[in-house]
Amino acid sequence: MRERMLFLSAQKECSKEEEHRTESFLEILLEKFDIDLLEFCECERARFAESGYALTVHRVEQAANPRRALLRPLDKLRSKAVLEDTGKDLRTEIRQLCSRHTYSHVFISHRLLSNCIDIISSLIPEAVIITDAHRTWSRAKEKDGPVRRKIKYPYHKLNEARVRRDERKLMNKTGLLLTANEWDALSFKALSFADAGKVHVVPPFVDLQEYQYAEPACKENGIMLHWDMHTIQGKNAALIFHEKVYPLIQAEVPDVQCYIAGAVDSEVRALSKADPSVKIIEDTGLAGEYIRRSKAVIACLDEGCGGQKKILEAWALRTPVVTSPRGAEELICENGRNILLAGTIRGIAEHAVKLLQTPELASLISDRAYRTLLNHYEVKNVKAKVLSLV
C-alpha cells in the first residue's frame, strides 16, 4: 500500500526556476506516494480543484493584507532570510488536512519554511519532514566587498544571527534537507554538525526527452542570449550586453545574429528596431530551435536570471555556453573543457568570437558538456537519488 504525503508549495514571489524545481520534485514523488498538494497562490480559492489516483490538489488564496503591506518596510532586512510568513488561511487548511489524513511524509518547499515547519512538527511529529532550502543570506554576504563589510550597520549582524538561529531550528526539525548545490549544503552542515547527515544535494536537472529533435541542427553565425528577460536583472543584463559586448563581437564577425527569446521589456524590444541583426523570438516554444542553430549561448548567472537551468538547456541541445565565473561553482564545470568563463566584457566577447570562428572547439566543448549533463543532471539519475533518500 502506498504511503500518503502532504506537499506544501507556494506560487508567491516564486521564480520560474524555483517553480520548475518544485514541480519536478512533485512529479518524482508521485511515483512513490499518494500526495495531497496544498498550494498557496494568488488565485481564487478552489479546494479539490484537481484529483487523481495519486494526487489531490487544494488551493489557498493569498489574501491581501494592507496593514501588513504598510509594516513590511520595517521588516526589510528580514526579507533576506530564507524563512517567510504564511497566511492564517493556509495554517487552518494544514490543520484540517492533518486531522483528516495520516501522513508519513511532508514536503515543504522553500517559500513556506517559516511557520509551516512548526505547525507540521507539532501536528504530526512522527512524520518525516522533507525541505528544499537554500541560503540566500550567505550568498548575499559573499557578494559584499571589504569596504561594504566595514560600513555594515550593527543590526545587519544581528539579523545574520537571527537567520542562523532560524536555520538551526529548521535543521533540527527536518528529517531530510535538500539543497541545489554543494555550496548551500556545506553552509547548512556548518550550522549544525549533529544534523549534517540530513543534508543532501539534489542539483537542478532536465529531462532529455524534452530536447529530442528528429533532424540534426544546421549551425549558423548566431548567438543566443538565454536568461529570463522579464526580470529587472535580466533586462539590465541584456542592455549591458548589447551596449558593451555585442559591438566587440560584431567587429570580428560582421554577419553575426543575436537571438533573444520570450517576453521582453520595451527597452530590450527597441534593440531589434535599432539593430537588424538582433531578433526577438516571441514564441518561447521556438527557443530550443534557435539554441540548436546558434553557435554559442550567452548565459547570465546574476540572481533573478535563472542562469543554471538555462545552461543545462543549452547543454542538452549541444550548444556551448559562455558565461561569467560568478555562480559557476554551483555547476560541475571547468573553464575551457565544458564551458567558457570570463570575468570581463572583453573576455566574454573573445570567447563568443572564438566559438563563432572555430567550429571544432565549439563541437568539443558541447560534447563534453552533454556528457556532464548525462552523468550529473539528467532526470533519471536525480530521480533515483531522490527516491532512495525518501
Q: What CATH number corresponds to the domain at position 364?
A: 3.40.50.2000
Mean per-residue pLDDT, 335-346: 90
User: What is the reported pTM?
Assistant: 0.77
Q: Is residue 387 part of a domain?
A: no
Pull the grid cell for residue 33: 506516494
Q: What share of the chain is helix, strand, coil (3-state, %, to 5)?
A: 50, 15, 30
Nearest CA to 314 among 330, 299, 336? Answer: 299
Kindly report the CA angle at 307 between 27 and 204, in degrees rounded to 5? 30
CB contact at 8 A, 116 and 97: no
Average predicted confidence (pLDDT) for the chain = 80
* Same-domain pairing of 193 and 332: no
User: What are residue 58's DSSP bridge partners?
Assistant: 38
* Same-domain pairing of 18 and 33: yes
Beta strand extents in the chain (DSSP E only): 3-10, 33-41, 50-51, 55-61, 105-108, 128-132, 176-179, 199-201, 222-225, 257-261, 278-281, 296-298, 321-323, 340-341
* Same-domain pairing of 51 and 192: yes
In this predicted structure, which of 92-96, 153-157, 366-370 has the lowest mean pLDDT?
Answer: 153-157
Q: What is the DSSP string of 236-275?
A: HHHHHIIIIIHHHHHHH-TT-EEEEES---HHHHHHHHH-
Q: How many CB atoms lie within 10 A of CB 153?
A: 9
> Domain ends where: 172, 202, 232?
202
Q: How many residues does the chain have?
A: 390
* Same-domain pairing of 282 and 186: no
* Same-domain pairing of 26 and 124: yes
User: The domain containing residue 370 runs over which residues?
Assistant: 208-376
* Same-domain pairing of 16 and 153: yes
- Cβ partners under 8 Å of residue 161, min gap 6: none
* Same-domain pairing of 188 and 239: no
Mean per-residue pLDDT, 62-81: 47
> Domain ends where: 176, 202, 228?
202
**In the prediction, which pLDDT does 47 show?**
40
Task: Give the separation between CA 339 and CA 352, rounded to whole angstroms.
Answer: 11
Judge whether residue 307 has pLDDT over 60. Answer: yes
User: What are residue 7's DSSP bridge partners?
Assistant: 37, 107
